[in-house]
Structure 1
Amino acid sequence: MDATASGLEPLSHQRIIDRLEAKGFTYGVDDDGDIGGRWDDHAFYFFLLGRDSEYLQVRGRWARDVAPSEIEALTAEVNAWNLDKLWPKVYVRAEGDRIGVYSEHTVDYEHGVSDSQLELHMACGISTALQFFAHLDSLYPEAVAEARKQLAGQGSAPAS
């Protein structure tokens, strides 16, 4: 059954933008066409994946820097989260002399999606990631203070 047969509209780049605008969120589109924004200082992107762009993935990145020596402790926190929570999936990735901590919430819309479902899943991807990022912030207050100091130095205003 395709999206039109189900009475639901197919997922699209424009529909993601429309939902962000309907909620009054600030966002941008990069040179690759990726849609992204910042929530509580953390970067989030909305990707269309799959052969027919039928999957929505909301991916977030924790906006803190911690020493590479923390990778085992962070991995333990990520594994504990993934054992206890349905979403988002979270993971740690070594990035040279930095550690990236990411969240992902992926939903299959092969048969289409309503606007309210799309908003719900986008909000879920962001809000559950922010819960995990807040947990990490409580464990690494020095990293939070450093990140906020750097943001203040850039003159950046908090985002949506």
Structure 2
Amino acid sequence: MGFFDAVPAQNANGLTPLSIDRIREIFDRSEINYGVDDEGDLLGGWEHGGFNFVAIGDNKDILCVRGTWFGELPEERLGEANAFTAEWNRERFWPKAYPVVTEEGTVRLLCEHVVAYPFGLTQEQLEDHLNCGLMTGNSLFEALNEAFPEAVEEAQVEESGE
């Protein structure tokens, strides 16, 4: 068997360790456009936000799907952003949502879907968890679009360069 023919080793339960390469294979097979950052993590843009796909932890066995909504709010609206994310997190399991104040003094809204796989996972589990992170993250972004429509309009103006 050649190097490029190698398949990740499965344990006795048929579980395979998490890896960015496994995620890349899913994206390639699904024809999802993505990029790779300087650390080798995957990233991609969807309709209302961008997502990063990272394997973290000492053994790189924790999947973190982190999304960032394209809209931005002025720092004075941090209280509204906190109230929105607190309600979101109370009413839903996924994704965890939170605001972050940037160095530029704007509020960005992020989400995370994090799952640990210390014993590995099946291909179906990995696909399900990626879908969960993306689908629920996009649901959050759609709710943010409704709650803060002026931020969406501003992001669209900046993207178009007008």
Establish whether TM, by shorter chain, passes 0.5: yes
Q: Distance in 1 between matches of 2:89 and 2:136?
A: 12
Among 89, 93, 116, which residue is 1:82 paired with? 89
Who is 1:48 aligned against? 55
- Structure 2 spans left out of the alignment, 5+ residues: 1-8
Aligned ranges 1:4-83 → 2 under 5 Å: 4-83=11-90
CA root-mean-square deviation:
1.6
Q: Which amino acid aligns with 2:88?
A: W
1:146 maps to 2:130: no
Among 118, 123, 130, which residue is 1:122 paired with? 130
- Aligned partner of residue 76 in structure 2, secondary structure: helix
Q: Is the 8 A contact 2:62 2:114 kept in 1?
A: yes
- Aligned partner of residue 90 in structure 1, secondary structure: strand
Q: Distance in 1 between matches of 2:116 and 2:19?
A: 13
Q: Distance in 2 between matches of 1:152 and 1:41?
A: 14
Q: Which amino acid aligns with 1:45?
A: N
- Aligned partner of residue 161 in structure 2, secondary structure: helix
Give CA-to-partner distance per residue, 1:55-113, whole Å, 9 cap, x none: 10100001111111110001001000111101111111111211121100011111111
Q: Which amino acid aligns with 1:59?
A: R
Who is 2:5 aligned against? none
Rate the CA distance shift 1:125–1:104 in 2: closer, same or farther, 3 A. Answer: same
TM-score by length of 1: 0.90
Higher relative contact order (CA 8 A, sep 6+): 1
TM-score by length of 2: 0.89
1:110 maps to 2:134: no
Q: Which amino acid aligns with 1:147?
A: A
Q: Distance in 2 between matches of 1:112 and 1:19?
A: 16
State the percentage of identical aligned residues.
35
Number of residue pairs matched? Answer: 153
Q: Distance in 2 between matches of 1:65 and 1:54?
A: 32
- Aligned partner of residue 5 in structure 1, secondary structure: coil
Q: Is the 8 A contact 1:3 1:111 kept in 2?
A: no
In the TM superposition, what is the alpha-carbon distance from 1:23 to its structure 2 partner? 1.4
- Structure 1 spans left out of the alignment, 5+ residues: 155-160
